[in-house]
């Protein structure tokens, strides 16, 4: 085994221990199990949704319509599997609706 492997293994072990303290053994194992295996279509869609929310949060002046426009344009130039959003749409309206739906869901969950 290489030094890089050992370093990564110990980093993962440390992260697992920190997660176990914060969220418990069962949830920490569940997260590691989900990450270790090949992602399901539902997981890939969830990660793409998370990416949309993160891109919105990283905007200096958050604007759903502007983000939807940027994503639609980027999607036109990307292969289907690399496109933003769960469906990889190039339709501005579809992306805007999806972003607004995700932000509303997050707002409801934080109450």
The pLDDT tens digits of the residues spanning 38-48 come to 888 888 888 89
What does the pLDDT read at residue 51? 93
What is the percent of the chain where pLDDT is above 70? 100
> Which uninterrupted H or E stretch holds 89?
none
In this prediction, residues 17-28 reach a mean pLDDT of 96
CA distances from 41 to 28, 77, 86, 87 (A): 21, 22, 9, 11
What does the pLDDT read at residue 65? 97
In this prediction, residues 31-55 reach a mean pLDDT of 89
* Residue 34 pLDDT exceeds 90: no
d(CA 109, CA 66): 25
Kindly report the average pLDDT of the chain as a whole number.
Answer: 93
Half-sphere exposure at residue 34, Cβ-oriented, CA atoms within 13 angstroms: 13
In this prediction, residues 69-74 reach a mean pLDDT of 96
How large is the C-alpha radius of gyration of the chain?
18
* Residue 108 pLDDT exceeds 90: yes
């Amino acid at each position: 085994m290489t030094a890089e492997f050992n370093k990564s293994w110990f980093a993962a072990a440390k992260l697992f221990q920190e997660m176990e303290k914060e969220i418990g053994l069962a949830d920490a194992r569940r997260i590691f199990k989900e990450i270790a295996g090949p992602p399901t279509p539902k997981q890939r869609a969830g990660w793409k949704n998370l990416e949309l929310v993160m891109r919105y949060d990283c905007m200096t002046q958050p604007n759903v319509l502007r983000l939807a426009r940027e994503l639609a344009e980027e999607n036109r130039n990307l292969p289907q599997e690399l496109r933003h959003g769960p469906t990889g749409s190039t339709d501005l309206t579809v992306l805007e609706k999806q972003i607004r739906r995700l932000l509303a869901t997050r707002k409801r969950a934080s109450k």
